[in-house]
């Protein structure tokens, strides 16, 4: 199923931010904004909800810490206890100060690697996926705002986007797959 959208191209990030605010104030739906670099405050201006990735990172860190504790308890206390430097090997708590670096490293390891996997899954970035960038100039120095045309006067919307500072405006049939 295809839908019609308008691609409005901008050459400055400040002009883009003002345009996003104006488009949202007129109650038009912005499908997506493509930028060559992160624009601070754009997510808030677009009205995107806050991400829960920080909570996910914390949970992944807790998983890493749990794996580290279980692994060290099994390896160093239950399975193969060794007398290293005169430290007692019959209790996890007595050895915990020596285990802190390992616990820290595995916490960071799990959080970092699982967050990368989560980011790719959430962004739908699969191996060999075809790029979805509608205009190659957005990887260099242009900013593109994709506005939904449904139930709106195309001429009025095009004129409005031109007044917001767009240097180029195109109506495009977008494939929704």
pLDDT in tens, 64-123: 999 999 999 998 888 887 777 776 677 788 888 888 999 999 999 999 999 999 999 988
pLDDT score of 152 more than 90: no
Question: If you ran DSSP here, which 8-state letter would residue 36 be given?
Answer: S
- Which token pair is 14? 């400040």
pLDDT score of 176 more than 80: no
Residue with tokens 């290293």: 84
Quote the distance between the C-alpha of residue 67 and its chain's center: 26
Q: How many CB atoms lie within 10 A of CB 56?
A: 16
Quote the distance between the C-alpha of residue 157 and its chain's center: 30
Instruction: Give mean pLDDT, residues 38-49.
Output: 92
**Nearest to residue 95, comparing CAs of 72, 123, 116, 118?**
72
Return d(Cα 21, Cα 15) in angstroms, integer: 10
Question: Residue 147: is it exposed, middle or buried by C-beta count within 10 angstroms (0-12/13-18/19+)?
Answer: buried
Question: Residue 125: is it exposed, middle or buried by C-beta count within 10 angstroms (0-12/13-18/19+)?
Answer: exposed
Instruction: Give mean pLDDT, residues 137-164.
Output: 90
């Amino acid at each position: 199923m295809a839908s019609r959208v308008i691609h409005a191209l901008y050459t400055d990030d400040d002009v883009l931010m003002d345009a996003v605010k104006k488009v949202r104030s007129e109650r038009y739906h912005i499908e997506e904004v493509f930028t060559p670099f992160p624009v601070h405050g754009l997510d808030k201006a677009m009205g995107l909800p806050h991400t829960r990735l920080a909570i996910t990172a914390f949970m992944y860190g807790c998983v890493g810490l749990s794996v580290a504790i279980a692994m060290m308890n099994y390896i160093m206390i239950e399975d193969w206890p060794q007398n290293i430097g005169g430290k007692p090997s019959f209790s996890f708590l007595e050895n915990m100060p020596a285990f802190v670096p390992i616990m820290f490293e595995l916490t960071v390891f799990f959080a970092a690697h699982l967050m990368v996997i989560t980011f790719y899954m959430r962004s739908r970035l699969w191996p060999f996926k075809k790029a979805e960038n509608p205009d190659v100039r957005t990887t260099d120095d242009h900013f593109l705002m994709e506005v939904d045309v449904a139930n709106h006067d195309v001429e009025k919307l095009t004129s409005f986007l031109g007044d917001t500072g767009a240097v180029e405006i195109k109506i495009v049939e977008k494939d929704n797959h």
